[in-house]
Structure 1
Amino acid sequence: MPKIIAPLTEMQARKAKPHDKAYRLFDGGGLYLEVTPKGSRIWRMKFRQANGSENVLTFGPYPEITLQNAREKRLEARRLILQGVDPAKLRDATKRRAAEEAANTFEKIAREWYANKVPTWSERTSKNMIQRLEADIFPQIGKLPIAELKHRDVIAALRKIEQRGAAEIAHRMKAVCAQIFSYAIQCGLTDRNLVVDMKDVLKTRRASHFAAIDADELPAFLGVLERNEARMFQPTRIALRLMLLVFVRTSELIETPWSEINLEKGEWIIPWQRMKRGKLTVNPDMTDHHVCLSRQACHLLRELHAITGGGTYLFPNQRDHHKPISNNTLLVALERMGYKGRMTGHGFRALAMSTIKERLGYRHEVVDRQLAHAPKDKVASAYDRAQFLAERHRMMQDWADYIDSVAADVQQK
């Protein structure tokens, strides 16, 4: 017959004094108060595991854990045992899970996500991404466990970016955070993507286009460029003229090595790996881009070759000739010309697209292909290569002649 144990009273627990050796005050059902020689009083509970061996649960110190608290914990443990759950194993698993969650901070998971993405990005994208995370996100929420983050934590980080006037960056980092949460869900580290719910927490962005002058403003622009009151160096002026004549993307021009230019044949073919769509990780467009040089563009390249032809790039960096000029060089030049907010590197592409169609009468498809935009399908892509190249050569020469005629009218006035 089991031994009957009289339940403890609150007074017995409160007045328990330390002895030379640790001793126990039993309450029944495996629960007891262990009193140590140093005076600590700890609630513990003995129980038998499914394999018959004895184990002990620790509920915490008295008086922080009262007698009533300890009895409630005993009842919870016994219910688990009746359900076939080992309370000690559940306790250990809970501690382990809590430790893992505490270790899986937002910054740790974000860096894992970043490391997985880096092989699919360009060097510039990779550098910009980690700089943005380290500057704007990690200082705010990086040390917090990703599973414990609340909406308000992420919103506060994003609004801090927005408040300094960087609304576009705030929206971009919101999208980045959404990807990081998605990665965490796939890894089993959190159950919810908080950012998906954040549709209205940032100010709505107005749709905008790159600043660009139109055909009616071209004469004034050519006049400013010719007078060179901004006192730009010759390579910079040539770069602006080439942007006007060939309207490639800014990075495609400034990063061009002389090895791509064949001055004898008057050819410039950009390898597909340097093109925007060639850098895609999924279904990259492996079509080399024919720039289709006009006589005027060839003349400018020969003039430039006399200045920078001994180096690697058409437009070498003044501080390090092994690197090209930065993207900001042309923006600064346009600003010095008085076109800040009115013209950008991308604006030359918009100007050419609209003017060539409206003033020279070329079809949209031909101009679009010269801009290296993506064809709608592979059949269209093959047709473009087969049929548009000769027409594009004519178009580019007509465009250069049109610019010359506008410049001549400016000089006569």
Structure 2
Amino acid sequence: MPKIIRRLTTKEIKTAKPGEVKQDGKGLMLVVDGKGNKRWVLRYTRPDGRRNMTGLGSNDFTPATVARIKANNIREKLVRGIDPVVDKKSTIQKQRTALRGTFKVVAEEWYAHKARGWARETARKAREILDDSLFPKLAKKPIAEISSVDIKPLLLNVHERAPKLAVKVRQYCNQIISYAIQEGLREDGRELSLKGALPRTSKGHYAAVTKSADLPVLFKAIESIDSIYSRVALLVCLYTASRPGVVAGMRWDELQIADKEWHIPAGRMKTSNDHITPLPDQLIPMLNKLRGLAGESPFVFPGFRDPIKQHIHRDSLSKILRENGLR
């Protein structure tokens, strides 16, 4: 004769006393602690044969009908060979992934983790790569689903205007994906496969610019320089026909952005007169972006060691030109 399972009545649940354990059948129990708090607990056998218990909630918020439904759901999983403990951990992991799982969120975590050990300029460059090269296309994509196929067109697009920058973008993409794997936000072993994704860039010097038709080549070469400060400084030289030494020392109080003018005091010029240089439209958004990065530095192009007291050295621009084959 089959065993009759008698479930707890509403009165029995209500009158259960501290320290009592009331059986509701098939491993479901009402446990009352020493203070009279009542909670539902299910005892069961895991697929590997081990006995286990799991809480189903307080009786104040989980009435008997709900506790029984939860217990039945667990029993059904056990019949299918699903371990409730493993299943719960998997569900929690999926929820964590959903909350943290976009490329932008993970990349920001990676940046915060790495920036603690970076020099100021390295952090600046990385921040720029995230904001300008990666987030516009990848920000909202789930980190678990991003593949090499998603990244390659982005890299080629960057490579077309800035070959050296594309190499750094590839490096950071690989690091962000590795970080996601380490954090359990992406399947183990699902690294990117981007080796050979970028064309080889020939080394050497650019030919001297002697006619206007050569200017696009020069602009493209400047755009390939990693540092936004170096890029903008060289473009200021190019657009305003100013000497590198004067551009390196450019101060915010010399700029009249609204009027698109650069007022250079006589003391910084070889002449004995103040000089006003028009600022072309192309420079305005670049200068506005630098203003947002300047902090308290009075210099448009601050020095890395002491941005409050020093600007970049005038020879640094010439060095950058040499390193990038531009002179």
Q: TM-score range by the shorter chain?
A: 0.3 to 0.5
Higher share of residues assigned helix: 1
Whose Rg is larger?
Answer: 1
TM-score, normalised relative to structure 2: 0.44
